[in-house]
């Protein structure tokens, strides 16, 4: 490991990927694509019009001084899914913080399902992420984000990681849901308290914002009871929020798959590779 003046000269990773999807002849079509640095975007066609955008950070992870930005614009009357090709990793940072910005925009009568794969925090990582979804008056979105505290296969327990994770959904420029998770050494030291994450080492939030979102709660409630994953649900005024916590990632992802499949009415993105039984 480099120390001293040499460390300051290490190259940092920066990337930006912007995608715009329009409607042409009644079908979805790519109308804009910009890629720079470590950020890439793919559109698996499957023999038809693009129904999914997959973002990727080719640097393999983030550390202090790195920056990453993903942007997506969804046309009116279009339903689209966006995800990430693999888990994002926040590595130890010798100085500075890694910054991630996600900006998603959905036009009139459109719907976006933003379903990135999990983010894994390493010991001594320092990550600041902001996700903003902007909806037109009658647009809708389904968002799910997952956080893993430490590398479980290596028995890692976090004590010095830092995270600020901001999420907000706007409709016609006005906030309809906002949520911020802040973690640092103090919170991690008290992590076993019920008011924090308790014994959980994996956490997820699902937000469904659409007219009548609260009507979906009745179909979800039978799915909430799970001995391996704590799940809580709130629903009101066109918003449905689910929070999940588990001691390990696989039971958390299985529970997320059940809930998201119910809300979507279709399978999860193929890159999630949920090959296990989710019944």
Tens digit of each residue's pLDDT (9 = 90 or more) over 63-75: 999 999 999 999 9
Tens digits of residue pLDDT in 95-148: 899 999 999 999 999 999 999 999 999 999 999 999 999 999 999 999 999 999
What is the tally of structural domains in the chain?
1
217, part of any domain:
yes
Within a domain: residue 278?
A: no
pLDDT at residue 218, as a whole number: 97
CA distance linking residue 57 with residue 72, whole number of Å? 15
In a domain, 3, yes or no: no
Answer yes or no: are the C-beta atoms of 75 and 108 closer than 8 Å.
no
pLDDT at position 194:
66
Write down the pLDDT at residue 279. 40
Read off the pLDDT of residues 139-194 as tens digits, 9 standing for 90 and up: 999 999 999 998 877 777 888 999 999 999 999 999 999 999 998 888 888 767 66
Tell me the CA distances in angstroms from 229 to 102, 195, 246, one per residue in order.
28, 16, 5
**Residue 261: per-residue pLDDT:** 95
Q: Quick count: other Cβ atoms within 10 Å of Cβ 29?
A: 15
With a cut of 80, say whether residue 84 has pLDDT above it: yes
Residue 276 in any domain: the answer is: no
Taking the alpha carbons of 240, 226, 191, 154 in that order, is the dihedral positive or negative? negative
Q: Give the pairing of strands 126-135 and 119-121.
A: unpaired
Across the chain, where does the E strand assignment appear?
A: 14-24, 27-37, 39-42, 52-57, 67-74, 79-84, 88-90, 98-106, 111-115, 119-121, 126-135, 140-149, 162-171, 174-183, 202-209, 230-236, 239-246
| Residue 5 reports pLDDT greater than 60 | no
Written as six digits, the tokens of 149 are 């505290």
pLDDT at 8: 53
- Compute the distance between CA of residue 78 and CA of residue 28 in angstroms, rounded to an integer: 7
Q: What's the pLDDT score for residue 277?
A: 45
> In this structure, what token pair is assigned to residue 178?
């906002």
For residue 237, which of 207, 209, 206 has the smallest C-alpha distance? 209
User: Read out DSSP for 186-239?
Assistant: HHHHTTTSTTTTTT-SEEEEEEEESTTGGGGHHHHHHHH--TTSEEEEEEETTE
pLDDT reported for residue 131: 98
Domain range for 66 is 13-268
Residue 212 has pLDDT above 60, yes or no: yes
**pTM of the complete model beyond 0.75:** yes
* pLDDT number for residue 25: 82
Report whether pLDDT(278) > 60. Answer: no
Asked if residue 274 belongs to a domain, the reply is no
Report percent pLDDT > 70 for the chain: 91
* Tokens describing residue 201: 């080492």
Residue 8 domain-assigned (yes or no):
no
At residue 9, the pLDDT reads 61
The whole-angstrom separation of Cα 222 and Cα 50 is: 33
The residues, ordered by sequence, that sit 6+ positions from 88 with a Cβ below 8 Å of its Cβ are 57, 61, 62, 100, 116, 117, 118, 119, 120
In this structure, of 22-31, 43-52, 83-92, the range with the lowest mean pLDDT score is 43-52
Separation between Cα atoms, residue 65 and residue 10, nearest integer Å = 10
Task: Give the pLDDT confidence of 32-83 residue by residue, as tens digits.
Answer: 999 999 999 999 875 555 789 999 999 989 999 999 999 999 999 999 999 9
Residue 54 forms part of a structural domain = yes
Is residue 277 domain-resident? no
């Amino acid at each position: 490991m480099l120390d001293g003046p040499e460390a300051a000269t290490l190259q940092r990773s920066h990337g930006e990927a912007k995608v715009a999807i329009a409607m042409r002849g009644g079908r979805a079509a790519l109308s804009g694509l910009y890629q720079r640095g470590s950020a890439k975007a793919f559109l698996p066609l499957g023999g038809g019009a693009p129904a999914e955008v997959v973002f990727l950070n080719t640097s393999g992870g983030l550390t202090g001084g790195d920056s990453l930005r993903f942007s997506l614009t969804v046309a009116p009357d279009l339903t689209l899914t966006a995800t990430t090709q693999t888990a994002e990793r926040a590595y130890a940072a010798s100085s500075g913080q890694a910054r991630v910005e996600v900006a998603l925009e959905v036009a009139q009568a459109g719907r976006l399902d933003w379903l990135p794969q999990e983010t894994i925090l390493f010991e001594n990582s320092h990550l600041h992420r902001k996700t903003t979804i902007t909806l037109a008056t009658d647009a809708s979105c389904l968002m799910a984000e997952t956080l893993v505290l430490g590398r479980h296969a290596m028995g890692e327990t976090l004590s010095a990681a830092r995270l600020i994770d901001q999420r907000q959904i706007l409709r016609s420029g006005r906030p309809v849901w906002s949520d911020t998770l802040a973690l640092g050494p103090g919170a991690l030291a008290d992590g076993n308290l019920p008011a924090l994450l308790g014994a959980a080492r994996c956490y997820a939030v699902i937000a469904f914002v659409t007219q009548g979102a609260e009507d979906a709660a009745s179909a979800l409630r039978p799915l909430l009871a799970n001995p391996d994953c704590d799940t809580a649900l709130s629903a009101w005024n066109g918003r449905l929020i689910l929070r999940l916590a588990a001691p390990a990632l696989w039971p958390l992802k299985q529970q997320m798959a059940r809930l998201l499949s119910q809300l979507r009415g279709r399978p999860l993105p193929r890159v999630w590779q949920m090959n296990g039984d989710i019944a």
